[in-house]
Structure 1
């Protein structure tokens, strides 16, 4: 449980305001999706409540086995669903919005659940600092809306191994079609929200070229029961597609993993592409179809065919759902954004993450479309809830109003014990959705959850074993070419088509000519 003291509360309230300001900016400036199929506002509100009641207990168990900062180190090395939009921003924000709802209804006071709030935000803050270790920031917003968490050794492998393309060639066509199909399927599988998609970068490839990394998660059988039997011919649950663009500046990569570019994203400017997979059991990125351009095109065409069929199958399944099932599925997608922390720690239990708490179920009768829309709009857009007001002299960061989306903890808890420290650790819940019966798709094959947890508990990536964990980019700057640095880089270079065994002394210019040509003037990178 939380160690309540003045410094810990100062840090907690600072982080609360950081998330409040960032979330307000995201809500008023980014594209907000609506669905003609799913009741999104009701399911979002219920997800916030589910997070509030369950997340503190879930994170305490995880943190006791694998500390949050170690999880941040793990997430920094590969693409996992605990990323910018989910683990870094979504998980703590959804939790805090559940708290805001209950305070607005008068069901809790700002001092209640103080131990829970401090613990959740302490976990999140430590994770974020480790996850963003290479760029030295807490959030993408703090970094000027950039997301550059990958180490040089990983980016070098991408740089050397990605296959060059030109508009209209087979690989370029296969890649653009697969990305479109992946986006459509991931959007549907996640109840028409962006949680299954992630983008990061940009990384400077020189000569007016930048790389962004696009990730797609939960593509076949795994945690979501509605994906049982869907896309089972797909051998991987997650896919990562690094893409190099020419003459395109990605000037914004925000905490929702949305991007803006000048000129705008245009497939005709793609000059290189690749495909990888990773999960809680992989030691780095696993190349997928990367032997040569033809093999990659074959693989991408095959995966697109599988996902095209899977999209139709999933549409048919969802079309048979009741409104309550759609609400439950959406709420569980949102409230389970931190579930990959449990997979990394080997503590995942299906009912803990994919059920709505009985304390949440009591609010369902409120959640018609009109109430959901209006309450959500007041809370995150208009900031119109009475308790969101501050004193009349204050001006918030982005709105200049005397209102804040998310409220802090009164420091009076340090001298006054008139509060409930926690919501408790007893879980009872249910779901209107069918019970999960399928296996989990992992890099180790399709396995049951007990096997998955056991494998995860016994696994440490080689690049994070022993002293390697603390050999960061600053250390490499002073030790490149040393035996220790070479060993670290060679671990990441395993399986690389062009860099295996090359070590740590390479610069970007040294990679010229190692792989396929990547557009005009590639040699000048």
Structure 2
């Protein structure tokens, strides 16, 4: 068997054994030594975890990470941005810095406040305190796996930091699902549906919808969405940090609605000026009729997949809103119609050209550092803002490259990043056991 054929086995099944999807999720949960993926108030409130609980979280998340990576649409490289390099280094940076920041957040909010932060996802759209970032609190743990793979740390090091990150993630997940009696942490365990928004939010979308009387009426909406999404991806340095999908939710007529947040602006980045005039976020609710021939899968990275892929041709109505700034009260969420959509699409197209020029004007090192800054900020800044701690974090040197990241830099800033990242993401090496040792 060739190396390519051998590797293909690991793409078809996790560690060449466990399948993707609902079947794989059930197999993984059945074999866990501790029911750590089931969220209960008692389990999320405690600070300490047993070794078997940590290792069970790692075991399940290894499969879940593989399931997400193998199935998601790849964000194509722009040719200008060293995305694998900045992501890999950012994972290490997050592992080096996030545990202390998460402890500060928890000290400020208390465990109940962290749960409430997660609960805000049930009523707020256009917010980066969202489903994607619940899952992304594992990113520092990817950095732990990378640091161990490079021999910079041992799996038994910093056990308390592992507990801190896992429990923070479980608390916001618990709040986000809104099930006080407990429930599964991952949408893979919920049939790949993210039904988090409360009924009142969905009812507003339904009442505000623009109904299309003919398929051609939906074409400008599709073009608007595509233009905004292209800009949002590049603004977030070619990654999905600017997109969050939830649903599909049932509608009163027996159809379905998919809700998508697109983030077009973010103050504080050196390139944020290119987005001047664009709203912070767009929220779109796409309505599908009863019996539409579409199968929906929303994975734990808040990414929708459909069969057939061209799902937007079946959209029969839409509701579109803007959140003008990150701190615009959700009650001020503003519905927009065709004219403002057209203007935003035009502005996003012009901003895209400015953004390309900005990125092209940087050298590789500058784009690498910009990517690390973006990726490190994106996964915790929204929570720190909500807690009133973000300005303090920045003043305390949040963006400074940590010595652990500097140690990893020579290896991860070049082509070797891909060689390190592939086994971490696909071959179960992201989460070495806290009870393991690494040969020196």
The interval holding the TM-score normalised by the smaller chain is: 0.7 to 0.9
Where does residue 344 of structure 1 map in the other structure? 386
Are positions 1:130 and 2:155 aligned together? no
Where does residue 199 of structure 2 map in the other structure? 152
TM-score of the two chains, using structure 1 as the length reference: 0.67
Are positions 1:298 and 2:331 aligned together? no
8 Å CA contact 2:86, 2:413 repeated in 1? no
Map 1:10-29 to 2 at 5 A: 10-29=52-71
TM-fit CA distance, 1:380: 1.7
Where does residue 376 of structure 2 map in the other structure? 335
Q: 1:39 aligns with which of 82, 86, 96?
A: 82
8 Å CA contact 2:121, 2:130 repeated in 1? yes
Aligned residues: 379
Q: SS of 1:141's equivalent?
A: helix
8 Å CA contact 2:89, 2:413 repeated in 1? no
CA 1:73/1:8 → structure 2, altered by over 3 Å: closer, same or farther? Answer: farther
1:447-489, Cα deviation, whole Å (9 max, x unpaired): xxxxxxxxxxxxxxxxxxxxxxxxxxxxxxxxxxxxxxxxxxx
TM-score of the two chains, using structure 2 as the length reference: 0.79
Name the one with the larger helix percent. 2
CA 1:153/1:330 → structure 2, altered by over 3 Å: closer, same or farther? Answer: same
8 Å CA contact 2:284, 2:320 repeated in 1? yes
Question: What value does the CA root-mean-square deviation take over the aligned residues?
Answer: 2.5
For 1:331 and 1:248, how far apart are their aligned partners in 2?
41
TM-fit CA distance, 1:3: 7.6
Are positions 1:322 and 2:363 aligned together? yes
Where does residue 75 of structure 1 map in the other structure? 121
Map 1:247-262 to 2 at 5 A: 247-262=292-307
1:229-286, Cα deviation, whole Å (9 max, x unpaired): 222122x311111110231434310012222223333333111111223466444354
Map 1:86-485 to 2 at 5 A: 87-92=133-138, 94-133=139-178, 136-167=183-214, 172-205=218-251, 207=253, 209-217=255-263, 219-227=264-272, 229-234=273-278, 236-246=279-289, 247-278=292-323, 281-284=327-330, 286-290=332-336, 296-336=337-377, 337-349=379-391, 350=394, 352-383=397-428, 388=429, 405-410=430-435
1:19-62, Cα deviation, whole Å (9 max, x unpaired): 22200112223333341221122111101101101111111111
8 Å CA contact 1:68, 1:126 repeated in 2? yes
Greater mean deviation of Cα atoms: 60-69 or 48-57 = 60-69
CA 1:280/1:321 → structure 2, altered by over 3 Å: closer, same or farther? Answer: closer
For 2:124 and 2:178, how far apart are their aligned partners in 1?
14
1:121-167, Cα deviation, whole Å (9 max, x unpaired): 11111111111226943111121211110011111111111111244
For 1:173 and 1:366, how far apart are their aligned partners in 2?
46
Q: SS of 1:275's equivalent?
A: strand
8 Å CA contact 1:289, 1:299 repeated in 2? no
TM-fit CA distance, 1:289: 3.8
8 Å CA contact 1:167, 1:173 repeated in 2? no
